Amino acid sequence: MTTPYRVCFVCTGNICRSPMAESVFRARIAEDGLDALVEIDSAGTGGWHEGEAADPRTRDVLRTGGYPSAHTARQFRASWFARRDLVIALDSGHLRELRRLAPTAEDAAKVHLLRAYSCGTGPSAGPADLDVPDPYYGGPAGFAACLEMVEAACDGLLEAVRAEVTSGAPGPAVPRPGLHHPPRKESA
């Protein structure tokens, strides 16, 4: 394992789902006291929005959820695999594209779907069942639903990454079948 452990979230344009996942997971890592051991970033499979901030609806839903969001979109490059321990795809299309882009089989093994870490997903769930739907063409409700999915999955991802960084064993933090996490409750 490299220190720090590096996680990159990837969606299509890096303005909706992946910056949302980056912000949520960064908060989970900080809450767990692992921020000195884990670096988090995000990117898109395409470069259409490079240099832009996250979509205003993404920023709104993150702000409402209490997550900070300073973000500049960028495109994922094959060369990045060498400096990432885990690459998290937000849907099955991203998963396929990232694995195709991976220079080696070892790099392809670093790519997993975010919702594979969610509660209620198990070994029988197919890749399409684990997609975080793209909220871009919808309204605020789609962004709120996306945030809920991301939050649930980030709890499971946190458990997997925590185990990885505290064990010292090399390799990506892979999802475990039957992983279950109760939904987070906001404190009063």
Domain harbouring 128, CATH code: 3.40.50.2300
> Which residue among the candidates 35, 60, 134, 176 is catalytic per the annotation?
134
* Known active-site residue 17: yes
Residue from 8, 11, 16, 146 carrying the catalytic annotation: 11
Q: Rounded CA gap, 73 and 17, in Å?
A: 11
Distances (CA, A) of 156 to 43, 73, 79, 120: 21, 25, 27, 11
Q: Is residue 126's pLDDT more than 80? A: no
Cβ pair 44, 12 in contact under 8 A:
yes
Is 162 an annotated catalytic residue? Answer: no
> Is 141 a residue whose pLDDT tops 70?
yes
Written as one letter, the residue type at 92 is S
145, part of any domain: yes
pLDDT on residue 170: 63
**Domain encompassing residue 30:** 5-167
pLDDT in tens, 16-72: 999 999 999 999 999 999 999 999 999 999 999 999 999 999 999 999 999 998 999
176 domain-assigned:
no
Question: Residue 43: inside a domain, yes or no?
Answer: yes
Residue at 161 is within a domain: yes
Q: Is residue 174 part of a domain?
A: no
In a domain, 46, yes or no: yes
Residue 176's pLDDT is 61
pLDDT one-digit tens code per residue, 144-174: 999 999 999 999 999 999 999 998 776 778 7
pLDDT score of 129: 84
Q: What is the 3-state secondary structure (H, E, C) of 121-174?
A: CCCCCCHHHHCCCCCCCCCHHHHHHHHHHHHHHHHHHHHHHHHHHHHCCCCCCC
Of 16, 17, 84, 162, which one is the catalytic site residue? 17
Active site residue 35: no
- The domain total for the chain is 1
Residue type, 98: L
User: Which structure tokens are listed for 183?
Assistant: 């939904």
So what's the pLDDT on residue 175?
Answer: 83
Model pLDDT for residues 96-120, shown as the tens digit of each residue: 999 999 999 999 999 999 999 986 5
Specify if 173 maps to a domain. no
